[in-house]
Amino acid sequence: MGCGCNKGKKDEETKELMNEILQNIEEIQNDEKKMQSIIKIQRYFRKTQLKSNKPPQVKQEIINNNSLNNSSQNIKDSFEANSIPKKLPLEIPQEELTTLLKEYPPLSDNVKVKINGPVQDNNIQSVYLGEWDFKKNLKHGRGIEYWSEGSKYYGYWIAGKANIRGKLIHADGDKYEGEWLNDQPNGKGKYTHSDGTLYEGDWKNDRQHGKGKESWPDGAWYEGDYVNGQKHGKGKFYWADGSYYEGEFAVNNINGFGTYIFGDKRCYKGTWVNNKIEGKGVFTWPDGRKYEGEYKNDKKDGFGTFYWNDGKIFKGNWKNGQKHGEGEVYFPDQKIWKKGLWKYGERVKYYT
């Protein structure tokens, strides 16, 4: 009769193999869910900036080449005689100007202005109605400009340019409302997309810059730092499924140190490179399992320690998410450590 040693060894190997299989299955699920999240975050990132095929900036060319004479006196004479250029690209309802004048108080900059318009600019196919500095022959004060393709600006002007505060409404329904400086969003402002996506925060030279918050119709949102139109610095990104990331971003990517909490409460806390787990970190599971060590390309790679919820521990080398190279295992029932050699997840031998 045999001593039963071989049977015990096989049972131990079978248990270890099953643990390995379950761990690898969870790794695959983990990677898949995280990659789906990253794909989603990149899709969101592509919608952050103002659309370039519409006029995100109020055009600087005003009336230098329109059908009115450039002398301020002739413009004034034309206005007073109600001599409006023919074939306007569109018309501005008078009631819109009335509403604007009530909503926006007059500027207190000592510039004398009078209502002028509609004034057509054939170069950019637009028409303007509002306050005008006849001395300098420029839009100044409160006014409205329509473009023939359907966009309009509604707010303050200084020396012919959108300034201080106003609204830019695109033909497709997208809208920016906030502070302006020299025809560009600068300061605090809110951009609303026609699909319900919203950014509210700081702007610099027509780009998100500083602190801001974006939200999407499905419930996802980001709040944090922006640099030159991109998420850059520290921030929080929450997904509709309950998962979230809090940490560092660089050029719209998860980069640096941060914490990612999955919808099922798994957690990774450590370093990232271009949306992938890279470097050192700690991954924990709700049932008590934990891995602490090195990662490469989203997988355990290098030296690390894995703790099972039954007290078993593996400490050693990993490659591409699997035990690979020398390591040692702690068996809590026997209270012993065994050194061994592994090759791509399979144990080759124990030294002791």
Q: What is the pLDDT of residue 19?
A: 55
Q: What is the pLDDT of residue 38?
A: 40
Higher pLDDT, 300 or 51: 300
- Whether 78 shows a pLDDT value over 90: the answer reads no
Q: What is the pLDDT of residue 117?
A: 85
Q: What is the pLDDT of residue 137?
A: 93
Q: What is the pLDDT of residue 315?
A: 97
Average pLDDT over residues 59-81: 28
Q: What is the pLDDT of residue 29?
A: 46
- Whether 45 shows a pLDDT value over 90: the answer reads no
Q: What is the pLDDT of residue 36?
A: 43
Higher pLDDT, 70 or 348: 348
CA distances from 285 to 294, 306, 308, 309 (A): 17, 11, 10, 9
Tell the burial category of 25 from Cβ atoms under 10 Å away from its Cβ (0-12, 13-18, 19+): exposed
- Whether 16 shows a pLDDT value over 60: the answer reads no
Query: In sequence order, what are the residues at sequence separation of 6 or more whose Cβ sits closer than 8 angstroms to the Cβ of residue 238?
Result: 220, 221, 222, 244
Q: What is the pLDDT of residue 10?
A: 46
Tell me if 164 is assigned to some domain: yes
CA-closest candidate to residue 212, choices 181, 183, 176 = 176
- Whether 178 shows a pLDDT value over 50: the answer reads yes
Domain coverage including residue 143: 54-203
Mean pLDDT of the residues in the chain: 81
Q: What is the pLDDT of residue 51?
A: 30
Structure tokens at 117: 């318009």
Q: What is the pLDDT of residue 124?
A: 81
Tell me if 59 is assigned to some domain: yes
pTM: 0.73
Per-residue pLDDT of 198-215, as tens digits, reads: 999 999 999 999 999 999
CA-based R_g, the chain, Å: 32
User: Is the CA virtual torsion 272, 278, 281, 287 positive or negative?
Assistant: positive
Tell me if 176 is assigned to some domain: yes
Tell me if 322 is assigned to some domain: no
pLDDT category at 275 given cuts 50, 70, 90 is very high
Tell me if 113 is assigned to some domain: yes
Q: What is the pLDDT of residue 88?
A: 54
pLDDT category at 12 given cuts 50, 70, 90 is low
H-run or E-run covering 35? helix 5-45
Give how many domains the chain has, as a whole number. 1
Tell me if 256 is assigned to some domain: no
Tell me if 276 is assigned to some domain: no
Q: Which of 61-75, 168-182, 282-296, 306-320 has the lowest mean pLDDT?
A: 61-75
H-run or E-run covering 25? helix 5-45
Per-residue pLDDT of 303-336, as tens digits, reads: 999 999 999 999 999 999 999 999 999 999 999 9
Tell me if 138 is assigned to some domain: yes
Q: What is the pLDDT of residue 23?
A: 55
